[in-house]
Structure formats: structure tokens, C-alpha cells
Amino acid sequence: MTVSLPGAPAGLPDPDSFAGTAPHPSLHNEDLAPLPKDRRRWGAFEIFNVWTNDVQSLAGYTLAASLFITAGISGWWVFAAIVLAGLIVNWLVNLIGRPSVKYGIPYAPMARAGMGVRGAQLPALVRGIVGIFWYGAQTYFASTAVAMALNAILGDPVTPAFLEMDLIDWVSYAIVAGLQILLFVRGIVWIERFLNFAGPAVYVVMVVLLIAIWFQAGDRLLPAVGGLFANDDRTGWGAVVAFIGVVGTMIAYFAAVIINFGDFARYSRSERSMKLGNFTGLPVSLTFFTFLALFITAGAYIVLQDGQGEPLTNPADIVGLVGNTALTVVAAITFLLATVGINLVANFIPPAYDLSNLAPQRISFKMGGYLTAAIGFVVGALWVATISNIGLPAFVDTLGAILAPLYGVLVADYYVIRRQRIKVEDLFTMNPEARYYYESGWNRRAIIAVAVAAVFAVAAVWVPVLTGLSGFAWLIGAALGGGLYIALMWRHRPEPTDDAAVPVAVREQQPA
């Protein structure tokens, strides 16, 4: 069985499209090959849905609500920081998406230009590991929606617990894990239909929930929003650092999709449609979602919790307190679809490709998917008892810090070193004379830049003396990785590749 995104080629492109240079079997297959322009069917709506489902997943809501509570600054400043993060991510994905729109190639082959045709296996492996961790975490969050529905139907039965999850939690977790494997087997086209339904549906449910809470809260809601998050723990420069830290954490949340956004951008009909989808799906959708999260969290605290305890950060828990079984079940299904859809697209299928890319003769795409599911299942199962103890923001910052240097190197290579010119056939050959062969297929300078930047970025999250930089981990990693790469490669810059060096089949598909 072959799983491919809508519009993917039915088979390997004609080798003649590589200007007489036959692609090497270990570097080339139907998923990695340049995509002809007439097979790119995604408009702005499809790109919008990728981001909308990522934004409004249960993990996305929980992270945003957690930042309102823990940032130590006013909720309105947290709101502004999240919106600013959306604008920055929009700019970042436009940068990394442009070459994939131009040449029709996904993330893995694009990474070969800077890392080397063999060295690109490193960023693919790192992206795969991070994706598997996110897959496990999102699977757990999706399972909380199923558990909410089951508890509402069964009347909150008391069951034995293991790893801080009771029987209902484990059954729910197994259901979600099985559903995702089933969707994977059915194929991406079916998943895309899920995304197109779940994106708008989640907003409908959240708006209905907000209206219900606002109706009960009446004129108490607006003061609650201002008072509940009126946090002045940090003032002066400390407040500025906290603000920028929220921006950095939200950027890190999107890191896994940012780094491999080319996998989606290559299906865009034009750069304009990609940018429109990015803008409406990121700053616009993120602003609306954050507004809903802010008011729902505050409203639930005064209406459903009577101002007792800590505000709830998981919308599934909030819906569960409403006391309406029908609403609980509908909301559970909606949140489940939204989280599962984006989890498969962003955190399941990319690692499956990445694992297969490491040893295509031994690990098929299907086997890579099963390995992702198995390892991710363990990660999600340990979420409550172990991983969640570090806190979701720290978890997000750590994974983001690992990926950030790769982004910096890819962007620096394309825009500064390559001057926005790529010789596509050299991305698929093991010819020692090819541009991206470097030393036995590895660009050691790029490896050094990534390693040094990653160590420093991760240290910014975990080393006590650098605690104040934890929210900046992604930005530091990306800037340091890109800067080091430029410094190491500047004297070795190749002459810019002219358009004549680009294969005819690829040159003809470039948008005007």
C-alpha cells in the first residue's frame, strides 16, 4: 500500500526529467520526487486547515491556557504575545515554504542542499524523533476527550489506576491509538476530509461553549477576565522577559510543523495561495482561538468552579463540568477529530517517512508508520505519570530547541549561501562531483553548526543559570544555527546556480 498526499504522483517521474542524471534509488522515490505543477491542488483553504487544526488541538488550548496562568504577567499581555508569535511563525513558514513551492520538493530533499545528500538523514531523524514525542503527547490529549464522553455516559465509575490513569483513561487511550492507525491505513485523502470537517466544527463547539458560559456568568465574565489573569508577579524588565518568553514558547509549539512545512507547501498551487493560507491559518486563526481560550478559561473558573482551585486548562475538563451529557459527547467527538487529524498529518506521517528514509530497503513507509505508533504509544502512556511533571511549556521548549538549529541552517543555506537557486537533480544523486555530495555525502560544517546551536538551545531550557532564556530557546537555536552555518560556509560558497541548471521538468513548473 502506498500512502500519499492528494495530488502526489502515481509513480516515479521520468528519469529524463533529471537532465540525463538518473536519480539514486536510495535518495529517490515517488514521495520525495519533484511534484509537477499540474498535480498541485492545494489552495489557501487547505493550508489554512493545516494550521487551524494544529492551533485548536487540545494540546494547543492547554498550552495557551497554561501560559495565561503561569507567565507571571497580565493575561492581556499574554494574549498579545501569542498573537505576535502567530505573526512570527507566519513569516518563518513563508520563508521555508517558498523553495518547496518553487521546486515542488518536500523537507527531506530540501535539507540535502545544506546538510549533504547523506547528512540530510540527520535532520530527518531528529524531526522524526520529535514528531514521535509529539505524537504520543497529542494521542494522550485526544484520549482525554474520549474519557470525558465515557465518564459522562457511565456516570464517572471508580476503576483501578495504573501510571496515574484509571481503566477509563486506558480504554480511551487505546481507542485513540487504534483509530489513528486505522486512519493511517485508510490513507491521507481520508485524513484530509477529516481536517476539513474538524477545523470549522471545533470552532462551532467552542463558540457554543463560550455562549453557554457567558450566559450563566452574565456581567461577571469581563471582570473575571481582567481579574483572574491580572498577574503582576513580574514587573519592569522581568515582565518584558516573560512576554518574549511566551512568544518563544508559542513559536516552539509550532516547531515540528515549521521545520517540515515544505511537505505541505509543495502541494500549493502558487506562493500566493500558500501565503494566504498561512496568514489566515496562523495570526488570524490563532488570535480568534486565543480569544476563545481566554474567555472560556475565565468563565469556566467563575461559573463551573465557583472560583475554587486552579483554573482548568483542558477544554475537555471544562466541558465535563457543564453537566450536559449530549454536549459532552458532541464536544468530545469534535475535539477528538481535531486533535487526531493534525496529529496524523504533523506528527505521525512525517516520522514514518523519516524512519523509512534511513533504510528504505529495510523499512517501508508502512513499517515506519507502525514503528512511530508503537514508540509514540509508550510516550503517551507515560505522559501523566512522568513527562507531564516537567510541565507542557518546558516540554515544548525542549523539543523546539532541538529542531530550531535545523531551521536556521536550511533557511541560511537557501537564502544566503545558495542565493535562492537549487540544482534539483543534484539532490537525488550520489555522484561525487555533484554540488551536494560534499564529503561522502555529508556537509560537516552544517553538522557542527546544528550540534553547537542545539546544545546551547537545550541548555537554555534546563541549565539553571540560563533559566531566563528558556522561552527564547527556539529563537536562539535558529539564529545561532543559521549564523554559525553562514560563518562556516561563507568562504566555501558555490557560484550561484543559474536557471539553466535546473531540470526542464522542474523549471517549467515554477510559478511566475
Helix (H) or strand (E) holding 162: strand 161-162
> Could you tell me if residue 7 is inside a domain?
no
**Residue 17 has what pLDDT?**
46
Task: Tell me, yes or no, whether 408 lies in a domain.
Answer: yes
Domain of residue 254: give its range. Answer: 15-156+163-507
Tell me, what's the pLDDT at 36? 87
Residues in the chain: 512
Cα–Cα distance for residue pair 57/138, rounded to 1 Å: 8
Given a contact cutoff of 8 angstroms between Cβ atoms, the answer to whether 46 and 189 are in contact is no
Question: What 8-state DSSP symbol labels residue 74?
Answer: -
In a domain, 4, yes or no: no
**DSSP class of 80:** H
Question: Is 5 within a domain?
Answer: no
| Helix residue ranges, H only, 75-187 | 75-103, 107-115, 121-154, 167-186
Query: What pLDDT score does 391 carry?
Result: 65
Q: Are 268 and 274 in contact (CB under 8 A)?
A: yes
Q: Are 340 and 178 in contact (CB under 8 A)?
A: no
Q: Distances in Å between the alpha carbon of 398 and those of 10, 66, 84, 249? A: 38, 17, 21, 10
User: What is the per-residue pLDDT for 489?
Assistant: 94
pLDDT of residue 187 exceeding 50, the answer is yes
**What's the burial of 1, exposed, middle or buried (CB within 10 Å: 0-12/13-18/19+)?**
exposed
* pLDDT of amino acid 353: 72
pTM above threshold 0.85: no
Q: Which three cell numbers stand for residue 294?
A: 481566554
Q: Tell me how far apart the alpha carbons of residues 100 and 335 are, in angstroms, rounded to a whole number.
A: 31
326 domain residue, yes or no: yes
Supply 241's cell numbers.
Answer: 522577559
Residue 511 pLDDT:
38
Phi, psi of 487 (to 5 degrees): -65, -40
- In a domain, residue 65? The reply is yes
Overall number of domains in the chain? 1
- Do the beta carbons of residue 201 and residue 337 sit within 8 Å? yes
459 in a structural domain: yes
Q: What CATH number does the domain containing 32 carry?
A: 1.10.4160.10
Selected residue with higher pLDDT from 230 and 437: 437
DSSP string, 45-83: HHHHHHHHHHHTSHHHHHHHHHHHHHSSS-HHHHHHHHH
The pLDDT tens digits for 53-111 are: 778 777 777 788 888 877 778 778 888 999 999 999 999 999 999 999 999 988 888 99
* 291 closest CA partner among 56, 70, 57, 47: 56
Report yes or no on 512 lying in a domain.
no
What is the DSSP-derived secondary structure letter of residue 14?
P
Please give the mean pLDDT across all residues of the chain.
80
pLDDT higher at 137 or 361: 137
Place of cell 502526489: 8
